[in-house]
A and B are shown apart, each in its own frame.
Chain A
């Protein structure tokens, strides 16, 4: 009895449940096909490059492939005393092959990264190896240069055995693995990356703060003014947004340089002497000013969209119940704008942390950020794996901020419009 009532059949005699699933499956496939182009696009342009970046940043196959036999032989070596003849023989065999393929130069560059001093001894080894006799390679190689008899250099070679390395990440934090495998910081005067990371965080933080302080009243005005004025104001906010980033940055250069408009004005009103014009560009000030202006709309728009939904009667209610305008604002209006503040700050901070063109143009030496360093390694040193590593560290940082925000405020509390 009960099974009969549970099983409802359609007019075709197929159980209703099956028929419903079938109908829904078709809809799901249709829906999936609609998003498929975007999904594919994302995979090709986003997931795949990031995966590639990750591979590149940890990739250390080059030396591994150049000295396969050596590393095989080194597996048994304990790394304390000089290796056995077996290792030297394998190294000799690999090396001869490289010389034939004219690749020994690359090997010397790579090994030199690990330990200085490899370049010259590899050159010497190439010359001498032509007259090597068969057998007893340990003696012959050690005779080429005294460094070949130094166990530290063999240790350095062994360190390049793994095909995967985290050393680029360590380098990004101004650290490295020393001979005994400990992770240590580089000398104080060579720590450039840490300074850059901290400066990036600092600038992103203050730019976000300045944006917030300026955008809040603007967004409030936008949300409360009558339509005809608020539209005009909205255009004023959006107009810079529609202008090319490069144009805006260039116009800041015109304004802020020492013989620029702002300085001329300061001199004209007598605020500063003509011969003591302040430097407002090619330093942090320039970066702050230009980035704040450029990122302002990203703060205004989420704030505005949230404020627009707050009924003006709430503030009135707060006042009619006895709250002074300040109390009514702080207890009623402000808490309701937090989703917008969160969205705006997160957006501004994340954009600021990866900003590149503006600091490159107006930042000078003290105003450049980590992304400029990444670009430098992409274009100038061609150390792509290092650039990838730093890029991924930046990405991880952004994800960490997102995570912290989610823990503190809750991501569903975000409102972008």
Chain B
């Protein structure tokens, strides 16, 4: 497998010559991988995708596809499949003609093209829809046609630009699995852009978190969630409790952080020495009520809010000056004594409290 199937090499992009929307981007994508570009709007992820597709040119740097520099190749010669945000199905053509378009421009004989179209339609379970117009299909069906069209000419790389953004929640979830399964069964390389983190976590092999024109972290979904490398990623992915403080001691792979007159033991990730400002990140499910004595952080706080969520209860606690501290408590009979206004003890392991940059 080619480790550098897609390679962004020191890519900069500016639209107006004043602001860089993509800064010094360095990104390698392996062949057959499903990589998601995740980030808030305006973070540069769609620009990256458009540069890869050929609709934008890098201001500086080069993009390589399978070892070839592609900046000077026009989009129609790149052979990259693409699924657009609003499907971009040709409204005046039937489903069959939509799928036949990429084959026709490649001068593929009709019987062979028909076979490919049949295969692509069955892949998205839309057999028998070939003669419909896109306007006669539901949103989910149109999305499937768009996916089938991007795959029908057997591209090595498929780009998807927030393809599920217009669908309702249930449909979106089922389409996520469907796209994931298609990816697994045909082994095509997929670059997927979204701002929906649960979508990214569900589907991807690796996720590139974009912010401010830069890749903040590129890693597998579990690593991204469990081990964020900076405050932005920690706060962007999933729920997060934070404490801002100052490092008072650092030794033996642990550090002490002074927060509201007490000290928290934390895992030093991006702090190097004493006196540095830091922000500690702790996932809600890593903090427990009624902690065992083995935990090296035990503090008590006042319950400010209790919200029932069916399988669990969200508890908001005022802890060490942070009144937005969230706990997720599983609903079992042992935890029935959570009441508004009560003081409870909360504990966590210092490994799970990651001392990150103070941003």
Contacts and interface: CB of A to CB of B under 8 A. Distances in A.
Contact of B102 (A313, A316, A322): A322
A313 B88 contact: yes
Nearest to A338: B92
Contact of A322 (B89, B92, B106): B106
A323 B90 CA distance: 13
Contacts of B92: 335-336
A27 B264 CA distance: 73
Contacts of B84: 313, 316-317
Interface in B28-85: 53-55, 74-82, 84-85
Interface in A306-351: 311, 313-314, 316-325, 327-328, 331-332, 335-336
Given A322-B153, A328-B76, A316 B90 contact: no
A311 B88 contact: yes
B86 A321 contact: no
Contacts of B78: 320
Contacts of B149: 321
Given A313-B86, A313-B88, A332-B90, A323 B101 contact: yes
B88 A325 contact: no
B105 interface: yes
A328 B86 CA distance: 18
A317 B106 CA distance: 15
Contact of A321 (B74, B91, B101): B101
Given A311-B88, A313-B86, A332-B90, A321 B153 contact: yes
Which one of A317, A318, A319, A324 has the greatest number of beta carbons of chain B within 10 Å?
A: A317
Interface residues of A, number: 19
Chain A CB count within 10 A is highest, among B54, B76, B85, B102, for B76
B90 A320 contact: no
Contacts of A314: 88, 90
A258 to B, nearest CB: 49
Interface core residue of B74, B81, B82, B90 (most chain A CB under 10 Å): B90
A318 B53 CA distance: 12
Contacts, number: 66
Interface string A394-406: 0000000000000
A103 to B, nearest CB: 67
Given A323-B101, A323-B105, A327-B105, A317 B76 contact: no
A310 B106 CA distance: 25
Interface in B111-149: 149
Contact of A316 (B75, B79, B150): B75
B334 to A, nearest CB: 54
A313 B75 contact: no
A311 B88 CA distance: 8
Nearest to B89: A317
Contacts of A332: 90
A313 B82 CA distance: 11
A284 to B, nearest CB: 38
A324 B76 contact: yes
Given A311-B86, A321-B153, A316 B76 contact: no
Interface in A110-131: none
Contacts of A320: 53-54, 75-76, 78, 80-82
Nearest to A331: B101
B245 to A, nearest CB: 47
Contacts of A327: 105
Nearest to B92: A335
A327 B105 CA distance: 8
Nearest to B84: A313
Nearest to B99: A321
Contact of B88 (A317, A323, A331, A335): A317
Nearest to A314: B88
Quick one: which of A323, A328, A335 has the most chain B CB within 10 A?
Answer: A323
Given A316-B55, A327-B105, A322 B76 contact: yes
A118 B86 CA distance: 80
Interface in B146-165: 149-150, 153
A323 B82 CA distance: 13
Contacts of B76: 319-325, 328
A290 B311 CA distance: 77
A325 B75 CA distance: 9
Nearest to B149: A321
Contacts of B85: 313
A15 B261 CA distance: 79
B159 to A, nearest CB: 8
B105 A317 contact: no
A267 to B, nearest CB: 45
B238 to A, nearest CB: 31
Contacts of A324: 76, 105
Nearest to B50: A316
Nearest to B78: A320
A314 B134 CA distance: 13
A317 B79 CA distance: 12
Contacts of A321: 76, 81-82, 101-102, 105, 149-150, 153
A328 B77 CA distance: 13
A325 B77 CA distance: 11
A226 to B, nearest CB: 11
Contacts of A318: 90, 101
Contacts of A335: 92
Residue among B77, B89, B101 with most chain A CB within 10 A: B101
Contacts of B102: 321-323
Given A319-B54, A323-B102, 5 more contacts: A314-B88, A316-B82, A320-B80, A321-B150, A327-B105
5 contacts: A316-B53, A318-B101, A320-B53, A321-B105, A322-B79
Interface of B: 53-55, 74-82, 84-86, 88-92, 101-102, 105-106, 149-150, 153
Interface of A: 311, 313-314, 316-325, 327-328, 331-332, 335-336
Give the 3 A-B CB pairs with smallest separation, nearest first: A317-B88, A321-B102, A320-B82
